[in-house]
Structure 1
Amino acid sequence: MNQDQARALLRDMFDAAVAAADPAQVLADHLPPKPQGRCIVVGAGKSAAAMAAALEAAWPDVDLSGIVVTRHGHQVPTRRITVCQASHPVPDAASQDAAERILAAAKAAGPDDLVLALISGGGSALMAAPRAPLTLEDKIVVNRLLLRSGLTIEDMNRVRRRLSAIKGGRLAQAAAPARLVTLAISDVPGDDPAAIASGPTVPDPTAGQDLSWLVDRLGPDLPQAARDLLMAPPQPAAAFDADYRLIATPQMSLLAAARVAERAGVTPVLLGDALEGEAAQLGIAMAGIARATAAHGTPATAPAVLLSGGETTVTIGLGDPGRGGRNTEFLLSLAVALRGQPGIHALAADTDGIDGTEDAAGAIIGPDLPQRVAELGLDMRAALAGHDSYSLFDATDSLICTGPTLTNVNDFRAVLVVPAG
């Protein structure tokens, strides 16, 4: 398999992973029975508008109304469900307005109505309802601190639920006594409903936990109102039943990519859909597994592809970071560790089409990368140390730019090992 064929196969696997989470393809299979009365739709996330459009197509004869919020640039046309847009990953005034309108729509539901919640990744920032006495400005500061903290996504969501008036099951409480069904696309390790968009329609499993230890992790810039809420004695969450249906998950997308590999005569090795930790450290670890595959045929004999998902972190130290996201940082670390080893190619990208805050989904590399970097007078190690992976991959024409995919099942990583020569 030559380099062009390797790159094409990696891209085919990524495209299959994204297609497996396309709401237009999967949502209709998970719908509840049509209601006799009204169906009030609420929702938030990067896929919320696409999910709303898929619902309208599946239920043309149902009395649908409601409102969902998605990220700027992720909207699609709808006729009966209102779609609004807000900022991500840091909330803005539109995020708060959307949350208030969504809560109002849920509260307007009667006992004979069906409330259908369309939830996907990104909903935490897009649907921001600060818990009193927290203000929106406080919430924005907290979000920025979380993004720079190096905390796991689970710990971030603990904070978000504690500081929200809509997350941690509070949207579900607003919808009572109407019947509530949630359709969700998972973007979190383990597919925990309480973590997807910080769980607006399921009980908060950490409501009774002491979260005061997170105050020190977030540092002295944490607003006083947030500090007080995290330090306050925890209160148990309200208990209620949740009809929660996962329509797409990272594992489903990895399996779709694996089928593409098998058809190409390549052995897929699924390493897990919930790999976490520092992106650069995972790159080093994955390089070791790829080398073992090439040299010893473990965990599989080449040609083989190492598939994984999950959400890594990038901890930013002092100084101004360069440009990049967790997927390009992972790939750059992998490339540094591999040092141009023949026969190893890799792709890492966010399935929503946006790696961090940049305009690329991720990047794709081959063993020729070190030579190309050297010819441009660049330094891979310096770029990695400065968290400037985007700039290096942009200069070497390695970026993958898809635009918004209108879905989100977290990160997709594929390391392809083929016989060298």
Structure 2
Amino acid sequence: MNRPLLEQMFHHAVAEAQPARGIARHLPEKPKGRTLVIGAGKASAQMARAFEAAWEGPLTGLVVTRYGYGQACERIEIVEASHPVPDEAGLRAARRLGEFVAGLTPDDLVVALISGGGSALLPAPAPGLTLADEQAINRALLASGAPISVMNLIRNQFSTLKGGRLAALCAPARVATLVVSDVPGDDPSLVASGPTIPLAGSRELARKYANLYRLELPQAARELLAGEDNPAPAPDDPIFIRNSVSTIASAALSLDAAARLAGERGIEAAILSDSIEGESRDVAQVLAAMAREIALRNRPFKKPVVLLSGGETTVTLRGSGGRGGRNAEFLLAFAIAIDGMEGISALAADTDGIDGSEANAGAYADGSTATRLRKAGIDPLAALAGNDAWGAFHAIGDLVTTGPTGTNVNDFRSILVA
């Protein structure tokens, strides 16, 4: 009974974040001139399809999304590229976008459809860097354990499109950015590294964070980071004065939807936060301690209750050869912490349908998970140490697989104390 309810809440949260719901409410004012649609991210093709259906008038467009996430559009071209590590297809798409927005006038409108994943899907190496350099930078960042805000500040230093640079190429046209937010706190400049929104933060701060997280960067990247070449436009640059930004979907809205569904089923929902960050296994320890306290002592919430949270945790790679994902790693650590306890179950999944690089959205765990893993010949602690949460949950049939969902508002975690 517990798993179906948790899965229903996840699907309800995903449905709330579908682009069609928000785009119709945030259509920009029509221009005197042309309307061009650009975009990047794991939800950008769904956004393009929804915008095309809602927009009355001529338009042309070019949008890049992850392989397998494309949608059929009539006037907006959808191209696919690699995520989370960029590839040649993304490099070609980035170059085409730069050419697509060249030569615009003040009467033209550029609608930018931006969602999580756009950083990898729009590789545009700064002068002196190659695609291989950008791939190496991405791998270093993904393995660093740094929060998304730090990753994006550092990525911004090595791109010709991120950090508002794509919007600068659109000038003097007006740019209306529609965002499906996948970042804690919903700062739109952090989504996809803000290609149309200037990113606050200096080169000096990026250097500080690169040293703090001990990033192993390519030589060309280290040299660029040490200097001041390829500066990003400042947030107060006059070229952005007519631009607008609207967040059309976010973790907060999705968690509210899941909470309403729980209430309809007679279960109190407590939304802990929509912006939790930190190591997946550390966050799991904290939330497991809270679940145990409720199960044993009926505090700080009375059972039955479902604890909901969103945000983006991180995984620092410690093992080699493991197949993980931050939500699966969260749940494996959670399962170890509630080993043998009855009445506690949890689901954690990425709202875009892909947890890490595998085909699952996330996984399910309860007090019997660790025992079932041991019966299957898997040591839960060893699997966690080797970052092989995917392998562990796959072995006992507790992966949650949805396929691409068409949206992306980051992690969804639900813990039911029955």
**What range describes the TM-score normalised by the shorter chain of this pair?**
over 0.9
| Residue 294 (str. 1) matches residue 295 (str. 2) | yes
1-structure distance, mates of 2:304, 2:368: 19
User: Is the alpha carbon distance of 1:340 and 1:124 closer, same or farther for their aligned partners in structure 2, counting shifts above 3 Å?
Assistant: same
Secondary structure of the 2:313 match is coil
Secondary structure of the 1:311 match is strand
| Residue 401 (str. 1) matches residue 401 (str. 2) | yes
Secondary structure of the 1:405 match is coil
Letter in 1 for 2:110: V
**Aligned match for 1:232, one of 227, 230, 239:** 227
1-structure distance, mates of 2:213, 2:128: 19
Q: Could you say which residue in structure 2 is the equivalent of 1:264? A: 265
**Aligned match for 1:30, one of 14, 26, 31:** 26
**Aligned match for 2:53, one of 54, 57, 65:** 57
2-structure distance, mates of 1:220, 1:58: 44
Secondary structure of the 1:251 match is helix
1-structure distance, mates of 2:208, 2:83: 26
Deviations 1:48-103 (A, max 9, x none): 111010011112x4111020000000001011001000000000111111111111
**Aligned match for 1:80, one of 58, 68, 75:** 75
Q: Give the Å deviation of 1:134.
A: 1.2
Q: Could you say which residue in structure 1 is the equivalent of 2:248? A: 247
Give yes or no for contact 1:41–1:67 (8 Å, CA) kept in 2. yes
Give yes or no for contact 2:165–2:233 (8 Å, CA) kept in 1. no
Secondary structure of the 2:412 match is strand
**Aligned match for 2:2, one of 3, 6, 12:** 6
Q: Give the Å deviation of 1:218.
A: 5.9
Give yes or no for contact 1:215–1:227 (8 Å, CA) kept in 2. no
Letter in 2 for 1:361: A
Give yes or no for contact 2:353–2:361 (8 Å, CA) kept in 1. yes
Q: Could you say which residue in structure 1 is the equivalent of 2:190? A: 195
User: Which blocks of at least 5 consecutive residues in structure 1 are unaligned?
Assistant: none
Q: How do 1:147-162 residues align onto structure 2 when only pairs under 5 Å count?
A: 147-162=142-157
Give yes or no for contact 2:349–2:355 (8 Å, CA) kept in 1. yes
Q: Give the Å deviation of 1:109.
A: 2.5
Letter in 1 for 2:331: L
User: Is the alpha carbon distance of 1:225 and 1:188 closer, same or farther for their aligned partners in structure 2, counting shifts above 3 Å?
Assistant: same
Q: How do 1:327-346 residues align onto structure 2 when only pairs under 5 Å count?
A: 327-346=327-346
2-structure distance, mates of 1:402, 1:236: 38
Letter in 2 for 1:48: S
Question: Would you say how many aligned residue pairs link Structure 1 and Structure 2?
Answer: 412
2-structure distance, mates of 1:176, 1:9: 49
| Residue 211 (str. 1) matches residue 212 (str. 2) | no
Q: Could you say which residue in structure 2 is the equivalent of 1:322? A: 322
Q: How do 1:345-356 residues align onto structure 2 when only pairs under 5 Å count?
A: 345-356=345-356
Q: Give the Å deviation of 1:104.
A: 1.4
Give yes or no for contact 2:339–2:371 (8 Å, CA) kept in 1. no
Q: Could you say which residue in structure 2 is the equivalent of 1:307? A: 308
Q: Give the Å deviation of 1:177.
A: 0.8
Letter in 1 for 2:5: L
Give yes or no for contact 2:137–2:218 (8 Å, CA) kept in 1. yes
Q: Give the Å deviation of 1:233.
A: 4.1
Give yes or no for contact 1:188–1:409 (8 Å, CA) kept in 2. yes
Letter in 2 for 1:62: G
User: Which blocks of at least 5 consecutive residues in structure 2 are unaligned?
Assistant: none
Letter in 2 for 1:265: G
1-structure distance, mates of 2:365, 2:158: 41
Tell me which stretches of 4 or more aligned residues in structure 1 moved more than 6 Å. none
Letter in 1 for 2:301: A
1-structure distance, mates of 2:110, 2:102: 10
2-structure distance, mates of 1:411, 1:16: 14
Q: Could you say which residue in structure 1 is the equivalent of 2:390? A: 390
**Aligned match for 2:122, one of 124, 127, 141:** 127
Higher alpha-carbon deviation: 174-183 or 21-30: 21-30
Q: Give the Å deviation of 1:375.
A: 2.5
Give yes or no for contact 2:190–2:199 (8 Å, CA) kept in 1. no
2-structure distance, mates of 1:293, 1:169: 46
Deviations 1:216-258 (A, max 9, x none): 3565741122112222248573323340000000111110110
Q: Could you say which residue in structure 2 is the equivalent of 1:185? A: 180
Give yes or no for contact 2:339–2:368 (8 Å, CA) kept in 1. no
Q: TM-score, normalization: structure 1?
A: 0.95
Give yes or no for contact 1:331–1:347 (8 Å, CA) kept in 2. yes
User: Is the alpha carbon distance of 1:341 and 1:271 closer, same or farther for their aligned partners in structure 2, counting shifts above 3 Å?
Assistant: same
User: Is the alpha carbon distance of 1:41 and 1:73 closer, same or farther for their aligned partners in structure 2, counting shifts above 3 Å?
Assistant: same
Deviations 1:376-411 (A, max 9, x none): 222111111111111111111101110111110000
2-structure distance, mates of 1:322, 1:13: 29
1-structure distance, mates of 2:412, 2:215: 35
Letter in 2 for 1:388: D
User: Is the alpha carbon distance of 1:73 and 1:129 closer, same or farther for their aligned partners in structure 2, counting shifts above 3 Å?
Assistant: same
Give yes or no for contact 1:266–1:305 (8 Å, CA) kept in 2. yes
1-structure distance, mates of 2:6, 2:317: 29
Q: Give the Å deviation of 1:209.
A: 4.0
